[in-house]
Every structure is written in structure tokens, then in C-alpha cells.
Structure 1
Amino acid sequence: MVSLHQLHEENRFLLLKCISGSRAYGLHTPQSDTDYKGIFVSPKRVYYGLNPQEQINNETNDIVYYEWKKIVDLLGKNNPTVLELLATPEESVLYKHPLLHQLQVSDFLSKLCCQTFAGYAQSQVKKARGLKKKISNPMEPVRKEIPDFCYVIDGMYSIPLAQWLSDFRMSAADCGLVKIPHMRDAFALFHTSQLENGSLKGIYSGPDANDVSLSTIPIGIRPLALMSFNKDAYSIHCREYAQYWEWIGKRNETRYQSTVSHGKNYDAKNMMHTFRLLHMAEEIAREGVLHVKRQDRDFLMRIREGQFEYEDLLQQAEEKVQLIEELFEKSTLPDEPDLKKLEELLIDVRDAYYRN
């Protein structure tokens, strides 16, 4: 098996080794990390064996090497990561095998880039919206429980269950519910004081409950009240609560502080890369060329510094996507890369590497 040390420190089995990310784009700051990406060819016994390696990386994924077959597979799909790697500017290329010197990325660009670049940028906009929602609407440390989504009907109005129980000096544990037929999430509410014998199951079983509890009530007892439970809202709250606190636990604190420091409450770095992808897609549609090193650095860095309003950026992004779709429709690029040519490239490079 090929190890990360052999690739990154010894330069064995390599076709390509590059500095990637912000430094390759020309968008780095003095605080930016240095990321590395590359391409390797598996030794014959590994490639033909039972456990072929597609990718080798470190724990933080700032060093990643892809096996040659995976590179060609993704190239056939116009994957942005692979296209950018193969088009890395010379000053960021640390090693390039002679077998790759004749490979021209422009030979494999196609209309698929409309989806892979602009489509990915749209997904980043969606991600930015979600992050802004988390930042602007922080959640309390304690998750809400079922009674917080229950209301008692009072004539033409509704009263929060907690208020109703307080008014009548009752506890949720001493109450019981019976589902009302043909009515969604509607229940008749009873209290143990109405029973001659036995007890009720309470309105819910506890903080981890997914639904209200139902009790058995003797025939003839009239309910004290009618109650509704907004189960959909409760489910959404539980999901968003879990997502929010998972995000809190995993977020990059340095990047988060950078996000909130400019006061706009959106991930400025995320939005910068969104517009980088959109601009690259437009250049591909217009010129048939992939420019990794950005000439629009000033504009992109202004986004990163939070100099734009969030809604303005979203509007610009939506307009840019529409323009890109129109440009690709008129483009002379092929609908997809030449898969036969890619297959020949895959085989020829591997054969030549093994021979030498």
C-alpha cells in the first residue's frame, strides 16, 4: 500500500504535487494555511489487488492525493476540484511528471461545467443562508419539550398548555390525553381527580419523548379541555436544535470569529469562494479556459472582508447564475468531455508509468 509519507515527503509514485486552495487562487492572507493536492499512480500490485487506493489524505484533509483513475473519472464529470488541480498555475506546482506535460485541461472542458461550477456555487449560497440563520437565531442550551408546543382551546382562542395548567394548579404528570377521532393532533384532556380509581399516563413521558402519551379513560367522563399538539413544529425544532448544537461543537472558532467580526453575520469566506466559482464558470463559458489564479482578487477579498451586504450578494449571485446558464446555452463547448479520449489518456499514462 502507498503511504502518505511516501507521496508527500519522498515524492514516490507521483504524477503531480501542488500547493492548492487560497494560495493557488491568489486569495490567501498571512494567516492562511498551506494546502496540498496531488495525483499518484498506484504500484501494480496495489492497483490490481483487492484493496485499490483511490485517495490518500491526512486527518485534516489539507493534504490530499488522488489515484490516477479517480482523477480521470472525475475529469469526465468536469469536477471543479480536479479541473483546478490539473490547471494549477506553474508557481504553485511543486512536481509535475513529464507524462502530464501534454495534458491540456481546455481539451476536456464542456457544458457540464455549468452545473459543476455554477451548481456548486448555488449550493454554497444555500449553505451560507443556513449559516446566517444559525448566527442570527441562536438556540437556547436547553431544548424545548412537548408541552411547549401544546395549546388548550378556549372558545375562539388558544392558551399555552403551561399557562392553562398553572391557572388550574395542575401538573402535566397528573393529566391524561385521549385522541379525538378524525382530527389531526387533537386530544381530549382529563385529570386524575376525575377518576375514582387508577391514574393517568401524563401528557408526555419525559424530555426525550417523540409524541404525547395516551391514557385510557372510563366511558362517561367529560374532558376538562380540548388540546392540540403541533407535532410538526416540535419535530422541526428538535431537528434544528440538534443541527445547531452539532454546528457549535464542530465549527472552526477562528473562522467563526472572522465571520461575526465584520458585523454582517454571514460566512464571508464561503461567499468569496461562491463568487470565485461563478466567475470561473463565466470564463469557461466565454473563453473555454479555466483560470485558477484569480484576476478578480480585489473584488473577492472585499467580499471576504465583509464589505458587502448579504442580500446584495445573494441578488448578484442569482443574476450571475442566470447569465452563466445563458452563456453555456450559446457556448460552442461540447455537451460533455470526450470519454473515449479520456479512456485513452487513462490507459496510456498508466502504461507509460509502469514501463518506466
Structure 2
Amino acid sequence: MGIQDIKDRLNTDKYEFLRTDPRLGENILILTTAGSIAYGTNVDTSDIDIRGVTIETKQDLLGLSSFEQFEDRITDTVIYGLKKFISLCLDSNPNVLEILGTKDEHLLVITKEGQLLRDNADLFLSKKAIHSFGNYATAQLRRLKNALARDSYPQAEKEQHILESILGQMEHLKRTYKSFTNEEINLYIDQSDKPEMETEIFIDINLKHYPLRDLKNIYSDMSNVVKNYSKLNHRNNKKDEPHLNKHAMHLIRLLITGTEVLEGKGINTYREKEREFLLDIRKGKYSYNELFEMVDEYERRFRLAAENTSLPDKPDYKRVEELMLEIYSNIWGFGR
């Protein structure tokens, strides 16, 4: 499906909300493709995903109402309010940053202020990308390994995969809740007393004066990894093969994109150079062993880029705030 076809589709009644919703219409700063079309990995059956940024109304900014994002699930359209969008960009959220890096040809709406955001995309990039791109990708890839290998790997090896997935979350848990050391919460594999298991994951906890709710949430997050693996383990392998290949393709794409961000090459949503390679993954050209080896290699490249990145520890919040004020001033006259 070409871009003109998408533009024609947006003019149908199905997308009437783009013109009639009071927070959209002429308030939209950026409207662009997302998902497979934005990455260049779409096939004939791919859905049309639309993402964008809109400026809040004066009532949202100064009055009693508030607005963060508009979502239409039927058309898979998500449009963020400017404040919410910038907040997510400052946290290096991959799914939101990619709005700033789509091809110019994929822009369905772009205003002067929307272009100002895209021209200043580098302001949002920092070492936060190490965690936002890397932790998400590696955790999901380990889950993918678990799913793909469930029929051939012995129980003990599957248990090791689950442990690696949980350990991959540890830095996130330490940042989200009250921090703890590896000695205070220690996970490891040991022999199991259960007849159906050779080994299993054990935990040693040695915490003092630790918030109960934080501990509950930490346990819940760890438990969800085990539950998600269990769900994957009961799916039909043949039926899910295309889905898993697509999942692998997007996760490798995420590692490639994150590596470029850390190398100072900006946000490049459309994967021109790797397009055919990613499509081959989607089509199932590679064996699972080959896929795992590629994952390891792209993780290695990502870690190398993370160790040598020249990105700042955090974004320049003052310059980002000045950019926001310029946009609000241009449109609503604030500060004049």
C-alpha cells in the first residue's frame, strides 16, 4: 500500500475523528505512519497504524480540563498531546521517538511547529536510551527464546531462560521501586524437590525496613515473567510461528535502531539498509539457531555502543522547555 493510498484512506468516514474531534483537526502538529509501514517491513496483510502529536487546547492548558492522548482502537490511531509526547521522548520511549524519525514521505500532516519538533529530535536523546531500548528488547528476546525453544529444550534449560528474563528486569525494578542490592534479593537456580522438575528458580530475601508495597510490586513483576512464559508454553507452535518470526524481526529492528541512537546517528525509523534482511526474518528464512546467533550479535553491538556513547546522561531539559514555550507561543500566543 502506497502513501497516497493511506492518505486516501484517511479521508474516509472511518477516520472522520481526525477532522471532527475538537482536540485534533487543525491542532494536529504531526501525523505519520507507524508500525510495519513506517519501518519498511510491511506485507500485503499489514495493518495501517497512525501516530501523531497534537497541541492541547487553551482549556487543557489553563482551565479545568486535561488531555494526554487520543486513541482510536478500531483504526489503531494514537495521537499524543504535546506535553505527554515530550515527556515520553525525554524518557527515550522507543515507540514515541520513532514519530520524530519517520521518512518525510510518510508524513501525512506536518506543520511548522511539527517540523520544529522533528528538527530538534536530538534534544531528547540521552543515555536513557540504553535502558529504554536495551532492557525492553533483551527481556522480550529472552521471552522469544523461551517460546521458540520450549519443545526441544530440557526443563532445566527452560528454567534458566526464565531466570535470565527476570534478571534482565532487575535494573528496571531497582529504579522503579526502593533500590536493593543483589545480596538483599538474590535469585538463582538449584535442584528442585518437585518430581516434574530437575531444577527451579529460588530466591533469598534479606531486607530490612523495606516498603511492603514495593516488595509486593517487585514480586508481582517477577511473577508476571513466569506467567507469560507459561502462556507461551501452551500455544500451538505451528500456528504461532509467523507471529514469533514477526516478533523477532521487530525486536532485532529495535536493537539496530537503539544502537544507531547511541552511536549519535539520530532516530531512523525506516530501515532502508536492513529492510530485506528484516523481511527475510519475518518470512521464516532463518532457523531458530541462526536467529538466536543474530540476536546475540545485535545485543553485543548494542552493548558496545552503550559503553562508548557520547550522548549526555540526561536530556537538556532547559532547551526542551524553551522549545515547548516557542511552540505554545507560536500557536496560542503565550509569552507575547
TM over 0.5: yes
What TM-score comes out, normalization by structure 1 length?
Answer: 0.61
1:109 aligns with 2:125: yes
Contact 1:288–1:333 under 8 Å retained in 2: no
Deviation at 1:302, TM superposition (A): 1.0
1:316 aligns with 2:332: no
Contact 2:144–2:248 under 8 Å retained in 1: yes
2:178: which partner in 1?
none
1:292 aligns with 2:302: no
Deviation at 1:296, TM superposition (A): 0.5
The 1:84/1:40 distance shift into structure 2, 3 A limit, reads same
Does the residue aligned with 1:78 lie in a helix, a strand or coil?
coil
CA offsets, 1:96-140, max 9 Å, x none?
A: 111122332133322222222222211220331343367879xxx
CA offsets, 1:204-229, max 9 Å, x none?
A: xxxxxxxxxxxxxxxxxxxxxxxxx9
Contact 2:264–2:309 under 8 Å retained in 1: no
The 1:331/1:244 distance shift into structure 2, 3 A limit, reads closer
Aligned residue pairs, count? 251
Larger proportion of helix: 2
2:173: which partner in 1?
none
1:329 aligns with 2:307: yes
2:56: which partner in 1?
42
Which residue, out of 67, 91, 109, partners 1:95?
109
2:241: which partner in 1?
260
Deviation at 1:77, TM superposition (A): 1.1
d(CA) in 1 for partners of 2:296, 2:317: 32
Uncovered stretches (5+) of structure 1, i.e. residues with no partner = 138-228
1:166: which partner in 2?
none
Report which of the two structures shows the higher radius of gyration computed on alpha carbons.
1
- Amino acid aligned to 1:319: E
- Amino acid aligned to 1:126: R
Q: For structure 1, which segment, 31-40 or 55-64, has the greater mean C-alpha deviation from structure 2 after superposition?
A: 55-64
Deviation at 1:50, TM superposition (A): 4.0
CA offsets, 1:281-338, max 9 Å, x none?
A: 2222334322111121111111111111223322322232233222232222222211
Contact 2:264–2:310 under 8 Å retained in 1: no
What TM-score comes out, normalization by structure 2 length?
Answer: 0.64
Contact 2:146–2:229 under 8 Å retained in 1: no
2:320: which partner in 1?
342
d(CA) in 1 for partners of 2:151, 2:62: 49
d(CA) in 2 for partners of 1:243, 1:118: 20
Q: For structure 1, which segment, 313-322 or 70-79, has the greater mean C-alpha deviation from structure 2 after superposition?
A: 313-322
Deviation at 1:257, TM superposition (A): 6.5
Deviation at 1:248, TM superposition (A): 10
CA offsets, 1:230-264, max 9 Å, x none?
A: 5997xx9xx99986897799x9x9xx866436xxx
Contact 1:56–1:66 under 8 Å retained in 2: yes
1:283: which partner in 2?
260
Contact 1:106–1:288 under 8 Å retained in 2: no
Instruction: Give the share of equivalent positions with the same residue, in percent.
Output: 28
d(CA) in 2 for partners of 1:241, 1:16: 39
1:220: which partner in 2?
none
CA offsets, 1:64-96, max 9 Å, x none?
A: 111100111111111111210012111110111
Does the residue aligned with 2:26 lie in a helix, a strand or coil?
coil
1:207-222 → structure 2 map (5 Å cutoff): none
1:271 aligns with 2:248: yes
